[in-house]
Structures are given as C-alpha cells and as structure tokens.
Structure 1
Amino acid sequence: MPDYAYPLLLGLLGLVLGSFIATIAMRWPQGRSALHGRSACDSCDKALRAHELVPLLSYVLQRGRCRACGGAIHPGHPGTELAGLVVGVAAGLVAPGPEGVAGAIFGWLLLALAALDLAAFWLPNLLTATLALTGIVDGFLFPPNWLDRIAGGVIGYCLLELARFTYRLIRKRQGLGGGDARMFAGIGIWLGASMLAPILLAASLIGLAFAAAARISGREMSMTSRLPLGTLLAIAAFPAWLYGVAI
C-alpha cells in the first residue's frame, strides 16, 4: 500500500471510531450498552437515521442541531470524531506502515480513556488493561528496549499509586483514582520509562493551563475541584509517541 494511503485510511477509520467512542463515553458510565440499541437524539430520544450519523458531516449539515426537535447536539460527538480523525492522520503521516497502525490504536485507546475520564471521572479496568496488553503486543511486533518498557509499566503504576496513597494519608480523602495509575502503567509499557517524566510534566502543565483559563473566564476552581488526570495524560502521551517515532 502506498505511503499516502495510510493517513487517509487511518483518518477515515478514526472518524468512525471517534463516533463510537463518543457514544461509549455517554452511555457506558450510565450502565447502557453502546453496542445495542439505535443511536438517538440526546434531547428528544428520536432514533437517528443513517444520513444523520455520518461523522462530522451530519453535524455540519444539521448546524449542530437535531432535525426533529432542534435541540443542540452534544459537542462531545463532533469533538471526539475530529480527535479520532487527527489521531489516525497523524499516525499515518509519521509512520506510514504497520507501526503507524499500531500508533493509531494507541491513540484511539487514549482517546477512549480521555473521553470517559472527562465525562465521568472513570477509567475502566477493561480499557486500561487493553492499553497495557496492546503495548506488550507492540513490543513484540516492533522490538524495543524491553527493559525500558517493563520499567515504564512498573514505575508508571508505582509512581501514581504512591501519590494516591500519600494524598489520602495526608488529606484524609481520595485525590487520585486507581485507574490513573493503571493507565499510566499502560502508557509506560508503550513508551518506556524514559518518557514518563516528560508526559507527567506536560499533563500537569496542561492542567494548570486549563485551571488558569477557567479562572480567566470567571469559573472559579476551589481546592477540591477535580481535573481528569487520565484526560491530561492522554493529551500528553500521544504527541510523545509521535515525537518518539519521528526522531
């Protein structure tokens, strides 16, 4: 397959998966299956027809509103679809071939975790385990420094578990969820221990920028306000993969 086909095909696949991920992020935390039942309007619950489910295009043509009731379509739908597209195209451009496909899978798993954490502060064990297992498979397909990967998984998990334990000991309440540590371990298996510090620093800076933007816009954040660490880690981790492959 020619190199130019990879970003094109992965981008199209990313659009479809982005639509599915958006549905998962809205249904799964509510205990609803994303695999059963027809897609429906968030406002009036009218079942959507095929031409109303085309990723991004339907949103643009409908001007972000349901044709039946005029209710606004949740911006998470086009936002996640666009993110899935960007992940696929970026992976295909920096690594046209099997490695780019693997990187896109990494990015889409991160996108699913980011969307769920943003929507419900939830990082399901099924997805964090899948992230770790695909990282192991990636290691067999593209031989890495296994010591760095193993260390990445162990250090990533222990680092955030230690932070969680220390915060709970000092503040007498939960500060981090167990899913954050498991997700960081999966990222460590994919990218290696050497990338953990830059990713954690970038995630922290993104979180600070978000808090600053909220303050500037007039939305005060208290000391007990929560930020989805998994979402921040995902935003930092995929560019780190791109950088690692590109250099």
Structure 2
Amino acid sequence: MPLQPDLSWLFAAVALGPFIGSFLGLMSLRLPEGRPVGLARSACPSCARPLGPIDLVPVLSFVALRGRCRTCGAQIPPRYLALELACPALALWAALAHPSAEGFLGALLAWQLLLLALLDAEHLWLPRMLTLPLIVSGLAVAAAQGVLGAHLLGAALGFAGLSLLALAYRRLRGREGLGGGDAYLLAGGGAWCGAIALPSILLIAAASGLVFALVLRLRGRALAADQPLPFGVFLAVGAWLTWLYGPLGLA
C-alpha cells in the first residue's frame, strides 16, 4: 500500500506563507535603506500613522481596505499583496512536489530565494546577511538527512567556481562581470541541492537569463552591452527548480 502524504506539513506551510510574505515585503523595503526590520513599528509611508492589527492581517487587510491607508487613503504598495500570495503559492508547490516534512523545508528555501531574487532584481544586491543563512540552512538540512558531505562540497564548489570566474573576468576585461553575492548564492544552492546539482543550477540560470534577455529584445527593450544583469534572480530560479525536480538528466 503506498504511503499517504502527510498533509499537515502542507497546511502548515501554506498557512504560514502569507505572514512570511508580509515580512519579506517589509524586509525588501527596509534592508536597502538600512532601516531596522524587527524593531521599528510599521507605519503608513504617506501619513506616518502607526499601523494597528486591523491593518496588518496578510491579504485580508489589503482586500478589506482596497489597497489604501485607512487614514490618508494613500495606496498600499501592491508588492505586499503579491508577496503575501506568492509565499503560500511557493509553499504549496514545494509540498505538492515533496508531500512530507521535506516539502515544508522546501518552502523555507523558496522564501529565502524569493527575497534574494527580489533584492537583486531591484537593487543588484545580494547581502551576505541573507546568503550566509541560506548556506547554513541548506547544510543543516543536509546534516539532518545524513548527506552533509556532498552538500558541503556543493557549497564549496559553488562558491569557488563563481569566485574564480569573476576573478578571471575582472583580470581579462578590467571590470566586474559578476556581483560579489552571486558566488554566495550559488554556494547556497550547492548547500541545498548538493555538488552534483551545480551544473543544473547554472544551466537553468543561464537559460532563464537568455530567455529574459530575448523577451526584452522582442519588446524593444534590449539590454545595453554594459548594463548589469541581476544574475542572482536566475540563480535563484535554477536552485529552486533543481531542488524541486532534481538535477537535469537524472532520474
């Protein structure tokens, strides 16, 4: 008789998702500005009124208030609603692909990657205060699963590979070709997925980056030769899909 999936993990991840999304929205705005995340009370950016519990219920508050501040009527940034919906959706995706406690762990990976991708897309910034916990959490999961060696090797090779590539580009071209955070992000992908998954992460990242550039070109917004590309976004996509479905070409 096939084992039945443990739906409690699915429900837990999906129920937690909107609250995580709300917190990620806060972090994505405050971290680039250097503002504290956990100490300062949330307030309307337009009228500065501190937000109460009725304003802070994920999804429901946005819908009930029609996306506007109760006091001044200023629009609430839609990014909050988008993240509050995206986080449970990613948790559901992880739980359906891995219907067990592993799916809940996948949701933790997805939420970390989502924040990093958002910061890189908007600010070309992959802060170590976020990439290092990604590495540590991946190694902790690997240790619990008894596969620490392969995942520790993946983290080391991921970091070393992109660091050496960035160094070679800098020596040959005389300018930066990769952001400093990309190596740490790939190390996080190696920590979560293992050394054997690194080629898949990079291949998916490169392919998704090319698709992005092609779409921009078709829309008449081709990238300039010296325009930086948020490669961390595509590394996050590669790490996520590789974790979900395994390395390319392997059963």
Cα drift, residue 139 of structure 1: 1.4
TM-score, normalized by length of structure 1? 0.88
Letter of the structure 2 residue corresponding to residue 212 of structure 1: L
Question: What is the match of residue 54 of structure 2?
Answer: 51
Aligned residue among 193, 211, 214 for 1:212: 214
- Indicate conservation of the 8 Å contact 1:18/1:84, yes or no: yes
Q: Percent identity?
A: 41
1:169-190 CA distance string (max 9 Å, x none) = 2222222122110111121011
Letter of the structure 2 residue corresponding to residue 154 of structure 1: A
Question: What is the match of residue 41 of structure 2?
Answer: 38
Cα drift, residue 44 of structure 1: 4.0
- Indicate conservation of the 8 Å contact 2:197/2:246, yes or no: no
- Indicate conservation of the 8 Å contact 1:152/1:185, yes or no: yes
Question: What is the match of residue 195 of structure 2?
Answer: 193
Change beyond 3 A, Cα 1:73–1:166: farther
Change beyond 3 A, Cα 1:75–1:135: same
Question: What is the match of residue 124 of structure 1?
Answer: 127
TM-score, normalized by length of structure 2? 0.87
- Indicate conservation of the 8 Å contact 1:18/1:81, yes or no: yes
Question: What is the match of residue 175 of structure 1?
Answer: 177
1:104 aligns to 2:107 (yes or no): yes
Cα drift, residue 9 of structure 1: 1.5
Question: What is the match of residue 227 of structure 1?
Answer: 229
Question: What is the match of residue 78 of structure 1?
Answer: 81
Give runs of ≥4 in structure 1 deviating > 6 Å. none
Cα drift, residue 43 of structure 1: 4.0
- Indicate conservation of the 8 Å contact 2:7/2:99, yes or no: yes
1:45-83 CA distance string (max 9 Å, x none) = 433332222222333334434344444332322222222
Cα drift, residue 17 of structure 1: 0.9
Aligned residue among 115, 118, 123 for 1:115: 118
- Indicate conservation of the 8 Å contact 1:128/1:182, yes or no: yes
How many residues in Structure 1 have an aligned counterpart in Structure 2?
A: 245
Gaps of 5+ in 2: none
In structure 2, distance between residues paired with 1:111 and 1:134: 15
Q: 3-state DSSP class of the match of 1:212?
A: helix
Question: What is the match of residue 61 of structure 1?
Answer: 64
Cα drift, residue 85 of structure 1: 1.0
- Indicate conservation of the 8 Å contact 1:10/1:88, yes or no: yes
Cα drift, residue 201 of structure 1: 1.6
Question: What is the match of residue 18 of structure 2?
Answer: 15
Gaps of 5+ in 1: none
Question: What is the match of residue 141 of structure 1?
Answer: 144
